[in-house]
A and B are shown apart, each in its own frame.
Chain A
Amino acid sequence: MLDQTKQLPMGVGVGYKSKHFSNISEGDHPVKWLEIHAENYMGEKGAAGGRPMAQLRALSDRFPISVHGVGLSIGGEGRLDPDHLARLKHLIDEISPASFSEHLAWSTHDTAYFNDLLPLPYTAKTLARVCDHIDEVQDRLGRQMLLENPSSYLAFAESTYGEVEFLRAVVKRTGCGLLLDVNNVFVSANNLRIDAHDYIDAFPHEAVGEIHLGGHDEDQDEDGAPLLIDSHGREVADPVWHLYTYALATGGPKPTLIEWDTDVPEWDVLASEAARAALRLEQVLV
């Protein structure tokens, strides 16, 4: 069952990768909680099993777990997949996580899944749709979810809301919380030529239940200017650390996650990123 009394501890977590199972279980490290991708622990008809599930059960006895979904397609035009929602409910009932979060994005169309977080315009119509989907998720799971701000590479001519304005409206209508991905803010601000600090200033920090930090890659846009790609494949960049510090100073301390999903490093590298975040978090806690 879902334990509403559980919540993420005011400390640093990491995205869990099975290669780090022993390090996490045995070692002395700064990591206080773990985040998993929901879809890695699902089977077609409900429960997956085997080693991944056994490891997750063992870890969930010792660490608060954040379940992070990538496949619900909250921003999709179609209705939410009832089978996928049922699988999610099953997983959440089984491991009783401290938090559940998803993305302001879409990843499925008709019956196809594209394994990427695709963008949506911010209009009255998409706002209504996203809110309907979040209402459905929160009703089905019987709990609040957190919605994560995306990394943007382009803009929609038809958008009538700014992203923060859109997120504020979603929070107001659905009562959901937010997951503030500071790297995504940095990436989007660079790519859309907006001011990252303005974005943080305007953000409804009272709704934020979790912060994400991750690495990005640098490419070039049409004009040869930097185009940043949210890759989760390296250390958090220095300006993102500065923006994190700014977000903590602005919004107060929040449970913070280090995401590293591709070219996953040895445990020591990830743990030292977690230690860097913990140091900054402690500075706003005292």
Chain B
Amino acid sequence: MKQQEFIQAALAPDAPIPAGLITPSGAPAQRRFDVYRNNIIVGLKEAIAASYPAVKSLVGDAFFEAMTGDYVRAHAPKTPILPLYGDDFAEFIEGFAPASRLPYLADVARLEFALRQSYHAADTRPVPAAEFSDPLLFTRQVVLAPTVIWLASTYPVTQLRRFTLDGDRPSGGAEDVLITRPGYDPVATAFPHGTIAVLDALRNGMALANAAELAPTELDLSQFLGTLLKGGAIIDILEGDHDV
């Protein structure tokens, strides 16, 4: 029997079991094959539940069970590293009709996945904050830590996530979210809409001083820079000026 045949039948709950799988008496091992069916689906659903506690809390256990069941059957992990599993769960939610009444849900999923990636990201050594007293450094290209992740949402996603933890009602609107990892626990900080243009520019090699010019007027630049430095976000400053 081909493993392809085994796995296809395992992922399809109503498919006949592959020939040649037998009980001790030689009969087709229907009930026994279901053990594998169950183990695969339950294991993958648990992995998704571990990554998306806020999504689960917002939709409730029964809804989450049904939604993740559909997801894991159609989207097996592409890697044995389960903390990386679920990278397209947000896109799945966007196309999952029963969740359409919660238009912010996909962005909450994006935020949770980003927090998880930051938590597991490789360790790096930040540039000491004291070095930034030299204004010359603001004309240099910087390298951001792999723990630094950002996303933009038209919803107050950090507040929606916090609501699942402490019950505070969300308010406000669009957020650009910057995730940094001071120490071991990632922090998601909300900034005004448009802020991620600065981060995109930094990642594309623009110097800090030039990137800052892209910031929306509402952005408190010193708070923004403080969040980056406190989060150990800048891990290298490259030699030479980088006027863009």
Contacts and interface: CB of A to CB of B under 8 A. Distances in A.
The answer to whether A and B belong to the same complex is: yes
Interface of A: 39-40, 42-54, 70-72, 76-77, 84, 87, 106-109, 111-116, 118-121, 153-158, 191-193, 219-222, 227, 229
A121 B2 CA distance: 10
B19 to A, nearest CB: 8
Contacts of B40: 114-116
Given A107-B80, A156-B22, A222-B23, A116 B39 contact: yes
A108 B79 CA distance: 9
Contact of A115 (B6, B30, B82, B122): B82
Contacts of A50: 119-121, 123, 147, 181, 184
B83 interface: yes
Interface residues of B, number: 47
Nearest to B24: A193
Given A77-B3, A157-B22, A227-B32, A49 B122 contact: yes
A87 B79 CA distance: 12
B224 to A, nearest CB: 23
Contacts of B120: 43, 48-50, 52
A37 B93 CA distance: 30
Q: Which 6 A-B pairs have the closest CB atoms?
A: A71-B80, A49-B123, A154-B29, A112-B76, A51-B184, A193-B24
A164 B147 CA distance: 47
Contacts of B31: 220-222, 227
A50 B78 CA distance: 23
Pick from A43, A52, A84, A219 the residue with the most CB of B within 10 Å. Answer: A43
B77 interface: yes
Nearest to A224: B31
Interface string B115-152: 00001111110000000000000000000001100000
B102 interface: no
Interface in B191-210: none
B84 A44 contact: yes
10 contacts: A43-B84, A49-B121, A84-B80, A106-B3, A118-B10, A153-B32, A155-B21, A156-B22, A191-B24, A222-B23
B23 A39 contact: no
B1 A158 contact: yes
Contacts of A119: 36
Contacts of B24: 155, 191-193
A115 B3 contact: no
B23 A155 contact: yes
B204 to A, nearest CB: 20
